Chain A
C-alpha cells in the first residue's frame, strides 16, 4: 500500500503532528478527553461544537451503532462559554474549536471567547438534526459566506464543515471560500434514521439523525472529489475513514488531511493504528498524493 513520509504537517493554516485529526463531536466535550486523544496519536483535535448557550441536547437514545456506522442525534449538547476553562491546559496544542450559532453574529460571539486559545475555528454549518442551527445554516450559500466572514475577522484560520445533504456541495464550498475560509471540511453526517419494529417507533429520541462511519465513506470521497474540482481552498476529508488506505484514498480525491471520528467506537487507539500503517521513512511526500486521482 502507498505510504506517506512522516513528520509535521500544515493543513488549512494549522500546524498538525500528522495528517489524522480527531473529528468534532467525538470525545471532545472535555479538555482531558482531547488531551488523551493527542497522547494517543491524533495529529490535531477538533472540539465538540460550542454554541451561544449551555445545552443539554436531545433526549435519548442519542446514538446507536448500525451495521456499518453510527447513527446519532446528540442535539449539540455543550457547556458553551464554560468550555474556555477546559481548553486552558491545552494552550499551544493543535486544537481546532468547533463552533455553531444561529446567525453570523452568534458565530462571531462564540468564536470571540476562544480567539486566544484556538489554532483555528471549524464552523459547524452542517449538523443535520438541530433546528435553527447546523445544516439549517449550511444549506444557504449566502449565510455560509456571512458566517465565515464574521469569524474570519479574528485573523485565525477558519475551517467550514459542510453537509452532504445538499444537491450540489460545491456551491456551499465556493461560498465558504468567498467568505475567507482557510479550509473546507467535507463532510458532516448524512441524514438517516432507523425504526425499532418491536416498538413501532423511530429508535432515536429525536426520531432522525445523522449517519457516520464506514457507510458514508464513499459519499465523503465523492464530496471531496467534487470540491477539489470546483474550489481552490484546501480540503479536509471527513466521513468513514477507518484505515490507512482510506486516508490515502481521501487524499487522492483531494484532501490535505483527514478527520476521524466514528472509528474510535471500535478502537480508541485508532490514530496510533492508522499512523503505523500510513507512515514510512521511504513514503511519498503528501503533495504527490493530494488530488493524485484527478489527472486526465
Chain B
C-alpha cells in the first residue's frame, strides 16, 4: 500500500490528445509514480473531484460521462488540476497475462501493456472509431479486436474473442470495462474453472478515495473499492453485488439491467 496522500498535488496540463470521438487523454506534469491499475482522485477546481484510472504515470484517459468530466473536457493546455494519489492496489501479475478491455476500460490496462506485462490483449468497443489505444497495444503485444457493429475486428463482444482463446494458457487475466462486460468475462472464467486468475478493476461511486467514508463499500463483505480494490480477483467477486447493482451518491442501490438476452447495450457509466 502506498502512503495515503494529504493535500491534492497541483499538476499542469501539458497536452490533450483526442483518442476517439468521446475519449481524451490529458497529459500532465509532474508525473505521479504508480503501479499499473492504480487510480487517482482528480480535482477539477470549482466543479468536483472524481476517481480516474491512470493510463500512464503522467496521464489520465477520460470519457465524457457527467458534470466533472464535461468540465474537464473544457480545460486547455496550461490549466491546472489537483491530483490525490496513486490510490488503490492495482494489478499484480507475473508470467503470461491476458488483458481484456472494453471502451475506456482499456485505460488502466495501458499501464500494464507499457510495462511489458501483457502477452495478449482483447480490445472491444462499440465501433471502430471508439477503439482505444489500438496502435500502442499492437506495438507491444498481440492485439485482437471486437466491435459491436462489426466495423473492425470480430463483429460482436470482446467475450466472443475469449471463446477463440485458450484461457487456461494464461496465468492472469486482467479486465477493465463496463461492469456488464466484466461480469460476462467472469462467467467465462468460471466456466473454465479459473475465476481466481481473473483480476477485475471495479468502478464504484467514491467520495473520499482513502477508505474512510464507505460510499464505495460492496456487498456482502463490505470491501471498499477505493482501498481494498479497485482490483479484485474473480473468485472474490462470485456471490457478490458485482454485475447486479451499484450505488449512487446517496448510497441508494442502482440495479444493472438484466444480463440476458445478450444484445448490445450502451453501458451506463455512473459518475454521480
Q: Identify the A interface with B (CB < 8 A).
A: 25-37, 48, 54-57, 59-67, 70, 72, 74, 77-80, 82-83, 194, 196, 198-199, 201, 203, 205, 261-262, 264-266, 268
Please measure, in the bound complex, the distance between the C-alpha atom of A201 and the C-alpha atom of B227, giving whole angstroms: 28
Q: Decide if B214 touches A29 in the complex (CB within 8 Å).
A: yes
Set of chain A residues within 8 Å of B43, measured between Cβ atoms:
60-61, 203
In the complex, the number of residue pairs spanning A and B with C-beta atoms less than 8 Å apart equals: 141
Please measure, in the bound complex, the distance between the C-alpha atom of A59 and the C-alpha atom of B45, giving whole angstroms: 11
Q: A61-B49, A198-B80 are in contact. Are A27 and B214 (CB under 8 A)?
A: yes
Q: Given contacts A60-B49, A199-B82, could you give 9 more A-B pairs where the C-beta distance is less than 8 Å?
A: A30-B222, A31-B219, A65-B5, A77-B207, A77-B249, A196-B8, A199-B80, A203-B7, A203-B82
A48, A66, A196: the one contacting B214 at CB < 8 Å is: A48
Q: Decide if B249 touches A56 in the complex (CB within 8 Å).
A: yes
Please measure, in the bound complex, the distance between the C-alpha atom of A32 and the C-alpha atom of B209, giving whole angstroms: 18
Set of chain A residues within 8 Å of B5, measured between Cβ atoms:
65
Set of chain A residues within 8 Å of B250, measured between Cβ atoms:
54-57, 77-80
Q: Decide if A63 touches B222 in the complex (CB within 8 Å).
A: no
Please measure, in the bound complex, the distance between the C-alpha atom of A151 and the C-alpha atom of B144, giving whole angstroms: 62
B251 within 8 A of A: yes
17 residue pairs A–B, Cβ–Cβ below 8 Å:
A27-B222, A29-B247, A32-B220, A48-B214, A62-B207, A63-B210, A64-B6, A77-B250, A78-B250, A79-B250, A82-B252, A83-B251, A196-B7, A199-B80, A203-B43, A262-B212, A264-B212
Please measure, in the bound complex, the distance between the C-alpha atom of A29 and the C-alpha atom of B205, giving whole angstroms: 12
- Closest A residue to B253 using CB positions: A82
| Interface residue SS majority, chain B | loop
8 tightest A-B CB contacts, nearest first? A60-B49, A36-B222, A198-B10, A56-B249, A33-B217, A27-B214, A63-B208, A79-B251
Residue from B218, B220, B222 having most chain A Cβ neighbours under 10 A:
B222
Q: Identify the B interface with A (CB < 8 A).
A: 4-8, 10, 41, 43, 45-50, 80, 82, 84, 207-215, 217-224, 227, 247-253, 272
Q: Decide if B207 touches A27 in the complex (CB within 8 Å).
A: no
Q: A30-B219, A77-B249 are in contact. Are A59 and B48 (CB under 8 A)?
A: yes
Q: Decide if B208 touches A62 in the complex (CB within 8 Å).
A: yes
Please measure, in the bound complex, the distance between the C-alpha atom of A239 and the C-alpha atom of B49, giving whole angstroms: 26
User: In angstroms, how far is the closest chain B Cβ from the Cβ of A66?
Assistant: 6
- Closest A residue to B240 using CB positions: A32
Please measure, in the bound complex, the distance between the C-alpha atom of A56 and the C-alpha atom of B207, giving whole angstroms: 10
Q: Decide if A28 touches B222 in the complex (CB within 8 Å).
A: no
User: In angstroms, how far is the closest chain B Cβ from the Cβ of A11?
Assistant: 23
Please measure, in the bound complex, the distance between the C-alpha atom of A66 and the C-alpha atom of B212, giving whole angstroms: 14
User: In angstroms, how far is the closest chain B Cβ from the Cβ of A38?
Assistant: 10
Residue from B41, B43, B252 having most chain A Cβ neighbours under 10 A:
B252
Q: Decide if B6 touches A60 in the complex (CB within 8 Å).
A: no
Please measure, in the bound complex, the distance between the C-alpha atom of A225 and the C-alpha atom of B223, giving whole angstroms: 37
- Closest B residue to A263 using CB positions: B212
Q: Decide if A29 touches B211 in the complex (CB within 8 Å).
A: no
B7, B45, B209, B213: the one contacting A201 at CB < 8 Å is: B45
A35, A48, A64: the one contacting B7 at CB < 8 Å is: A64
Please measure, in the bound complex, the distance between the C-alpha atom of A83 and the C-alpha atom of B4, giving whole angstroms: 30
Q: Decide if B207 touches A36 in the complex (CB within 8 Å).
A: no
Q: Decide if B222 touches A26 in the complex (CB within 8 Å).
A: no
B4, B41, B217, B220: the one contacting A265 at CB < 8 Å is: B4
Set of chain B residues within 8 Å of A65, measured between Cβ atoms:
4-6, 210
Q: Decide if A30 touches B217 in the complex (CB within 8 Å).
A: yes
Set of chain A residues within 8 Å of B210, measured between Cβ atoms:
63, 65, 265
Q: A32-B221, A36-B221, A48-B214 are in contact. Are A60 and B50 (CB under 8 A)?
A: yes
